[in-house]
Amino acid sequence: MLLRNVLLLLTTLFIMACSSQDDLKRAVRVACVGDSITYGLTLKDRAHSAYPSQLGSLLGAKYSVKSFGRSGATLLANGDRPYIKSKEFAASLEFKADVVVIMLGTNDTKERNWIMKEQFEADYLDLIERYRHSNADVKILIALPPPIYSNCCGMSNSKVERAIVPIIKKVAQKSGLGVVDNYSVLREKKLFTDGVHPNSEGSRIIAQQVYREIRKLEH
């Protein structure tokens, strides 16, 4: 009788373990690609307040959200800190995400990078193709970066508004991708810690914007 109960318990535990593994396999993997805004720089509780973490909470257990933010990263392949040459980029490819959310462009407005702005569109299209080559079934969203309220390092909001935003919209149209509009919803300086990086509330708004676009992909 004891042996029978032990076998029954082991069988139950085995079934539960298999079910748990199946649930993990079914989780939709979301890779958040970007710079220090994605990383959550300046946030006191980055592990919980950065937008990828808040996005994971919104999406729930059926999704596995991982941040691949690289502080200072540029979209430009020849920028001072190209994302495609970072370990975060390599890790994001290995993640084999079902959904990739790209938010880059802020650091490209720095004076030392801005001289190469004519390459921005081509480099963005190349980045998209790299993710598509890694996973033919991947769904990609590209996000407009937030406004800039500081002139640090030569960055300026006029460059974002007049050049970066229009180019990203053009890239989205050419690639047939959805756009996450983080620019128009963060038009208040109080949503930033230093004029460049969103605070916890600003990050929450970004998470909500991305959440809405990801849910659209389900239909």
pLDDT for 1 equals 56
Nearest-CA neighbor of 99 among 205, 214, 215, 208?
Answer: 214
CATH number of the domain enclosing 84: 3.40.50.1110
Evaluate whether residue 106 is within a structural domain: yes
Evaluate whether residue 18 is within a structural domain: no
Q: Determine the length of the chain.
A: 219
Residues in the chain predicted with pLDDT less than 70, given as ranges, are 1-25
pLDDT for 85-105, tens place per residue?
999 999 999 999 999 999 999
Range of the domain at 111: 28-217
pLDDT for 89 equals 98
Cα dihedral sign, 159-161-163-165: positive
pLDDT for 151-189, tens place per residue?
877 898 999 999 999 999 999 999 999 999 999 999 999
Evaluate whether residue 126 is within a structural domain: yes
Number of H helices, E strands in the chain: 10, 5
pLDDT for 11 equals 52
Evaluate whether residue 65 is within a structural domain: yes
Evaluate whether residue 23 is within a structural domain: no
Give me the number of domains the chain comprises.
Answer: 1
Residues with Cβ within 8 Å of 203's Cβ and at least 6 positions away in sequence, in order, are 40, 43, 49, 50, 51, 54
Give, in order, the Cα–Cα distances in Å from 180 to each of 57, 59, 94, 103, 142. 18, 16, 24, 9, 6
CA pair distance 97, 74, nearest whole angstrom = 21
